[in-house]
Amino acid sequence: MKEIIEDCIIFSCRHCEEGEARRSNPKKEIASRTSFARNDESSILGINRFMVVITMIIFTFILCACQNQPLYKDTQVMMGTFVEVISPDKQAAAIVFNEIKRIEKLLSKYDLQSEISQLNKLGKLKVSPETFFILTKSILFYKQTNGAFDVTVGPLLDVWGFTDKKYILPDKSKIKQAMQFVGSDKIVLNEVDSVVKFNSPGVEIDLGAIAKGFAADCAVEKLKGAGVKSCLINAGGQIYCLGERFGKPWKVAIKNPRGQGNAGYLDLVNKAVATSGDYESYFEVAGKRYMHIFDPRTGFPAESGAICVTVIAPDGLTADALATAIMVIGKEKSDAIVKQYPEVIVKIIDKNE
């Protein structure tokens, strides 16, 4: 852990950092990083880092003028991304990393021993309270968004080449075939014994759109239990701000996705923020952009008109899920969902604006 030496730290959004982390050497990267974003590397799309037009900027000054206290930060690679912790409390980073590592061992589909991997393999499994909870919430979001949020969308990512980054425009027949395995209504939860099963063979769960927010929430609870009152967690662009930064809110700037400058600033205290956008992972064919966020109901990348969605919520799980769902349904239809979450604030940048 080290004392912060920069006036500000730049955070890329969650999927950009996720691709960078999976690509890089974690030990070498952690040893050399002095800020979260690196402008000398290309993104998962082969685009230079400075071309990624949406970033989260957290202004964290070394010393508070009135209290003369330092902030400390530490970074580790976990859940396929860079997780950074900033706090005036030296114990915060270790608490956060230990808890996120524990959650990752339950939920990662890349860990063959995780509960999610075993469930995908066996089709039925008695799971931990944490796994049962996140699946329960995932199905709730699925229902509330009329299928726009779906943790079984993995087969579509596979057939379009987003899983292995070998992008392709698949035949409609292949899309139709993949769609047979998509739909969270194929997941059955038994609350009595915490058993989860699939009612259709071939179904697989991928919690990438919600797990990092949930992991941050779990870490926040551990911080509170340890008496830590001020901390910022950035899990690859999914951010939670616990408490205040020396008596003031943590300040987050959202840069314009299609131009210069910032689209706005957020003052956050005990809030989570997540941003999804069409810039994060995509490929182009004949001038048309195909992004990584899919409409599970059609089998195609979402085309709602939204190019960037930022969600501020009391918890990271909700912020994560709604940012993805609203990218799918778009600005005009988002009100019906947002009304179900009175504490949530949504900022949408539409391609027509």
Please give the residue that has the higher pLDDT: either 127 or 208: 127
pLDDT in tens, 209-223: 999 999 999 999 999
Confidence of residue 241 (pLDDT cuts 50, 70, 90): very high
C-alpha distances out from residue 62 to 4, 36, 140, 169, Å: 6, 16, 42, 49
Task: Report the CATH fold assignment for 2-92+209-283+306-350.
Answer: T-fold (3.10.520)
DSSP state for residue 199 in the 8-state scheme: S
Q: Is the pLDDT of residue 150 over 80?
A: yes
Mean pLDDT throughout 101-119?
96
Question: Which pair of tokens denotes residue 202?
Answer: 């071939």
C-alpha distances out from residue 83 to 135, 146, 172, Å: 23, 32, 38
**Domain layout of the chain by residue ranges:** 2-92+209-283+306-350
Question: What does the pLDDT read at residue 350?
Answer: 76
Instruction: Check: pTM over 0.85? Answer yes or no.
Output: no
Q: Is the pLDDT of residue 114 over 70?
A: yes
CA quadruple 215, 217, 221, 222: dihedral sign: positive
The amino acid that residue 158 corresponds to is D
Question: What does the pLDDT read at residue 297?
Answer: 94
The Cα–Cα gap between 146 and 329 comes to 10
